[in-house]
A and B are shown apart, each in its own frame.
Chain A
Amino acid sequence: MDTLHAHLEALFDDLELVIGWETGYEPLRPTPAFLRSREDLSRLVWNPLCAPNLSVYLPGILKDAKETGKKIGVCLKGCDSRSLGALVQEGFVERERLYVVGLPCPGTVDPEALAEARKSSAPVTHVSFRDGLLAITSRDGTEEIELERVLARRCRRCRHPNPLHADVILGDPVPPRRTEPSFSDVDAVEAMSLEERRAYWEEELSRCLRCYACRNACPLCVCRDRCLAESRTPKWTTQRDGVRDKFLFHMIHALHLAGRCTECGECERVCPVGIPVALFKEKMARIALELWDYQAGTDPAATPPLQTFDPSETGI
């Protein structure tokens, strides 16, 4: 934390602004912060509750930013940095306009798991993190909770806790929880029969509100204001509240992310009704890996597999 502040402090004259996290309406809710003055830097926080993937803001902020010659600073966790890689790859972000502060990530917290793990339900007044332990203070005292117990699903399968493509990495590297791609949650779905899977998704998706938080939190969902799921011409979905239209929306999202998803898990994190929507993209990522040995966002010079072809490939 102190290093982060000091580092940005020293650099701030060369930066237009810094995108990081600050404490939200309660210490459990760090919220994205757009720090435009040196004084603002003091608001920066960095801990396992800093869940949002800030790369989602980059295409928009770069588009709107005036050309001052100053760079835009952004704090990225490991998985966030893969999103940046993919955005650079597809030309949505000019890497040279950014100053990327890579933050090796111990993993982020699943709020629901944390709520369950806490003994107190009183409003939290302070949070700190050290040596794998979250210290959570409320009027009922301070509880220490192991991060590992309350880890978000996305973090349990994380292979990239250490940022790629960063200008600077602040903090010691974190040993990855996984060294090989892990698709155990996909496997769990696939362990069901076809019929069960259909029923499973129908039930999960029936809760979808079509609030589009999953889509808007996705750094690679680049259609922004022009999503096909809301389009009336062409009309792929209706405004009905049925499962089929919800299903189609999620299929649009998943297919658009095929070979592009960087597995940051934001779609799932932000879903208010707890649909494991990231599984769709994990399955896509697995297919891309199997078919083309491709991992999105790791190589900014690569071409996404559906944007290219290989005349000699066989078996498909």
Chain B
Amino acid sequence: MRIGVFVCQCGTNIAGTVDTRAVAQRALDYPDVVFATDYMYTCSEPGQQEIQNAIAEHRLQGVVVAACSPRMHEPTFRRAVEKAGLNRYMFEMANIREHVSWIGQDRAANTLKAMELVRMAVEKLRRNEPLFASEVPINKRVLVIGGGVAGIQAALDCADAGLDVVLVEREQSIGGKMAKLDKTFPTIDCSSCILGPKMVDVAQKENITLHAYSEVESVSGYIGNFTVKIRKKATYVDWDACTGCGLCMEKCPSKKTVDRFNEALGVTTAIQIPFPQAIPKKARIQKDACRYFTTGKCKVCQKICPTGAVHYDMEDREVVEEVGAIIVATGYDLFDPAPYGEYGAGRYPDVITGIQFERILSASGPFGGHVKRPSDGKEPKDIVFVACVGSRDKSVDRPYCSGICCMYIAKQAILARDHLPGVNCYVFYMDIRSPGKNYDEFVRRAIEEYGVQYIRGRVGKIYPNGDRMVVQGADTLLGAQVEVEADLVVLATGVESSRGAKELAEKLRISYDQYGFYMESHPKLRPVETNTAGVYLAGACQGPKDIPASVAQGSAAAAKVLALFARDTIATDPQVAGVLESACIGCGKCLSVCPFGAIQWKTLRDGSRKADVLETVCQGCGLCNATCPPKAIQLRHFTDDQILAELDALCA
């Protein structure tokens, strides 16, 4: 093999504390090195040209560049050597800037270290093999999991671009949390007025297949070629026949069913359409509330249904969808304030959560938009909002900021004042977080125009006094304990990961943080990608987000899918594991440890079973390589021999 070594001075960044000339000179003593030089800026256009010239002139078969971190310029140099006719993997970098010149002043020690790093790179390169990406066809259908506003946006953007979209929603209707909101901050526009048309769009797009009241059962395959099993849960109503006329709801005798859409503030029927704008607008029987299912007698809805859509014997069924990419938009859940026993949520009917207050404000809510308190239906005169219930609090394992509470408190206080101009609103807060566009102005309006009283401090206790509640807390600005009497207390419960998020993550083989929020590929530069190729994130499943951010991410995820689908095939990274079949003993240890399910069995003609890597699924972590006892499975470009060569270059 003929190797060329290029030692970059990086101006004085490297040459300042490393004798680059000596490093290049020393490289000529290493095996297979036939050319070595130093250069002021190897990554510059002329620097790259120099490499390309040397490849031609000295018939180089491999190139080592000693310069900055490969995380910086490896792609640059790979392209450069490729242009000169070498395989891009016949290239190695020695990091003599971040790991040498920038961290030590001793020129002699640095130079020695740089020499050894070059030697390691040379010895590895001597074991490199040309690698070639393979191309796999892309199935240009996309699965969106979650029909909240982020998922809806992603689905619509994809559908608008002409893709076939499969949208899976766990609940009976799409719309998510946003569908429950009355107005949105900071514009106070009607939530259902802006979301509704989008929901209708979803229903009307022919290229969107909506599976509502359905859940993802399993995911297999890889980018471009996923197979997804979806369980359509039994609704006991044939949705093809149901027209959403609502007759069944009128006649259903089980009228005391807890209304979950209204956050248990009201009642509904056992057969139900959750809210008037529901998409799909189809009825479903809530089995545990249904008289027929609980007593065996009733069947009123079946008799009354004009289209005969009710089928009590319906069972869950499974559908299989083949897609090329997946957008995960499973949203969030709200913190259950039960751990804060001192606040009395659940014990006192007039201590409610923010989302409950949202339903109270809503014209389609349990009180028809009249602000009343749940206990006795009286209009409140004093309302206290408590911020950070389940946010920024380590004691309940929620140390993070939920990001939206400050804003929705301000909105709800403003709306309360709009509905009941005489009401007094108090907000107990820790800090006000209002970093969005027009957000701070919005909070200021609440304070200045609407006279909402902000008290900086934690609430210690909430207890009843007669038919009112006493909110006891600190005012840290006054440095005093304060008490506020209120008719209604709204706990601004924080955002937490959606229930079932971890289980879904495991099906998708994506990672999640300790709170169950999905991990993006890079916190800044790859915010909607996951580490599983072909799976993208949108909305609050990745972390607390408000509506504009969720919508933006929905569009961003759609853009990623469209970019992926712009090609007919995808090139797979060839730095993946490969099996030397003759050495594989069929022990299956690699299959059991692979985090991506990228290894499967292959049966040879003689009946023996061998591990087989799905190169498009393999992410190149090398866990299988470390696990394989006879080392039959090797991670290309990081093989045992390559790593041992680096090690041996250093000590033997």
CA gap between A226 and B631 in the complex, in Å = 9
Known: A92-B587, A236-B640. Is A307-B592 also a contact (CB below 8 A)? yes
Contact with B along A275-316 (1 / 0, CB 8 A): 000000000000000000000000000010011100000000
Q: How many residues of A are in contact with the other chain, CB < 8 A?
A: 19
Q: Which residues of B contact A306 (CB under 8 A)?
A: 627
Chain B residues contacting A234 (CB-CB under 8 Å) are 631, 634, 639-641, 644
**B194 at interface (Cβ–Cβ under 8 A)?**
no
| Residues in chain A near residue B630, CB distance under 8 A | 223, 226-228, 231
Q: How far is the CA of A66 from the CA of B634 in the complex (A)?
A: 33
- Considering only residues 608-634 of chain B, those with a C-beta below 8 Å from chain A are 627, 629-632, 634
Instruction: Decide if B585 is an interface residue (CB 8 Å cutoff).
Output: yes
Judge whether A222 and B587 touch: CB under 8 Å. yes
**B588 contacts which chain A residues (CB < 8 A)?**
90-91
Which chain B residues lie closer than 8 Å to A256 at the CB level?
629
Contact A231 B631 (CB under 8 A): yes
Q: Which listed residue (B583, B585, B634, B644) contacts A222, Cβ 8 A?
A: B585
Contacts of A233 in B (CB 8 A): 641
* B468 → A minimal CB distance (Å): 45
Do A231 and B585 have beta carbons less than 8 Å apart? Answer: no
How many A-B pairs fall under 8 Å by CB? 45
Interface flags for B239-268 (1: CB within 8 Å of A; 0: not) read 000000000000000000000000000000
> Is B59's CB within 8 Å of the partner chain A?
no
Contact partner, A226, options B585, B592, B634, B644, Cβ 8 Å: B585
Whether B583 lies near A226 (C-beta < 8 A) is yes
- Interface pair A236/B644, CB less than 8 Å apart: yes
CA distance A226 to B628 in the complex (A): 11
* B589 touches A (CB below 8 Å): yes
Nearest B residue (CB) for A223? B630
Contact of A228 with B629 at beta-carbon distance under 8 Å, contacts A90-B587, A234-B634 already known? yes
CA distance A223 to B585 in the complex (A): 6
Determine whether the beta carbon of A222 is less than 8 Å from that of B593.
no
A236 CB contacts on chain B under 8 angstroms: 631, 640, 644
Residues of A within 8 A of B583 (CB): 226, 231
CB closest residue in chain B, given A257: B629
Q: Does A130 contact B (CB under 8 A)?
A: no
Contact with A along B580-594 (1 / 0, CB 8 A): 000111011100110
A139 within 8 A of B: no
Tell me how far the C-beta of A314 lies from the nearest C-beta in chain B, rounded to whole angstroms: 14
Residues of B in contact, count (CB < 8 Å): 18
Nearest chain A residue, comparing its CB with the CB of B645: A235
A91–B592 Cα distance when bound, in Å, is 12
In chain B, what residue has the closest Cβ to A256? B629
- The answer to whether A235 touches B629, judged by C-beta atoms less than 8 angstroms apart, is no
| Chain A 143-171 near chain B by CB (<8 Å), digits 1 or 0 | 00000000000000000000000000000
How many whole Å from A62's CB to the nearest CB in chain B?
13
Report the separation of the CA atoms of residues A92 and B609 in the bound assembly, to the nearest whole angstrom: 12
In the complex, chain A residues whose CB is within 8 Å of the CB of B644: 234-236
Q: How far is the CA of A222 from the CA of B585 in the complex (A)?
A: 8
**B593 proximity list for chain A (CB < 8 A):** 307
Rounded to whole angstroms, the CA-CA distance of A222 and B632 in the bound complex is 13
CB distance from B601 to the nearest CB of A (A): 11
Q: Is there a chain B Cβ closer than 8 Å to A224's Cβ? A: yes
Within 8 A of B (CB), among A202-242: 222-224, 226-228, 231, 233-236
Residue ID in chain A nearest B592 by CB atoms: A307
Residues of chain A lying within 8 A (CB to CB) of residue B584: 226
Binary per-residue interface labels of chain B (382-405) against chain A in the complex, 1 for a CB within 8 Å, 0 otherwise: 000000000000000000000000
- Chain B contacts for A224, CB-based, 8 A: 585
- Tell me the bound Cα distance from A308 to B594 in angstroms: 11
Q: Within the assembled complex, what's the spacing in Å between the Cα atoms of A235 and B587?
A: 21
Q: Which residues of B contact A223 (CB under 8 A)?
A: 585, 629-630
Q: Within the assembled complex, what's the spacing in Å between the Cα atoms of A236 and B652?
A: 12
Q: How far is the CB of B377 from chain A (nearest CB, A)?
A: 48
Which residue of chain A has its CB nearest to the CB of B625? A234
Q: Which of A227, A234, A303 counts the most chain B CB atoms within 10 A?
A: A234
Cα A236 to Cα B630 in complex, Å, equals 11
CB distance from B600 to the nearest CB of A (A): 15
Q: How far is the CA of A234 from the CA of B632 in the complex (A)?
A: 9
- Which chain B residues lie closer than 8 Å to A231 at the CB level? 583, 630-631
Which of chain B's residues has its CB closest to A90's CB? B587
Which partner residue on chain A sits nearest B652 by CB separation? A244
CA distance A256 to B583 in the complex (A): 16
Minimum CB distance partner of A309 in chain B: B593
Given contacts A223-B629, A226-B630, A226-B632, contact A235 B641 (CB under 8 A): yes
Residues of chain B lying within 8 A (CB to CB) of residue A222 = 585, 587, 629
Chain B positions 112 through 131: 1 when the CB is less than 8 Å from some CB of chain A, otherwise 0: 00000000000000000000
A228 pairs with B631, CB closer than 8 A: yes
CA gap between A233 and B634 in the complex, in Å: 10
Chain A residue numbers with a CB within 8 Å of B592 are 303, 307-308
List CB contacts (< 8 Å) of A67-119 with chain B. 90-92
Given contacts A222-B587, A226-B583, A227-B630, 14 further A-B contacts (CB under 8 A): A90-B589, A91-B587, A222-B629, A223-B629, A223-B630, A226-B630, A228-B629, A233-B641, A234-B631, A234-B641, A234-B644, A256-B629, A307-B592, A308-B592
Query: Which A residues are within 8 Å of any B CB, using their own CB?
Result: 90-92, 222-224, 226-228, 231, 233-236, 256, 303, 306-308
Q: Can you give 20 A-B contacts (C-beta < 8 A)?
A: A90-B589, A91-B587, A91-B588, A222-B585, A223-B630, A226-B583, A228-B629, A231-B631, A233-B641, A234-B631, A234-B641, A234-B644, A235-B641, A235-B644, A236-B631, A236-B640, A306-B627, A307-B589, A307-B593, A307-B627
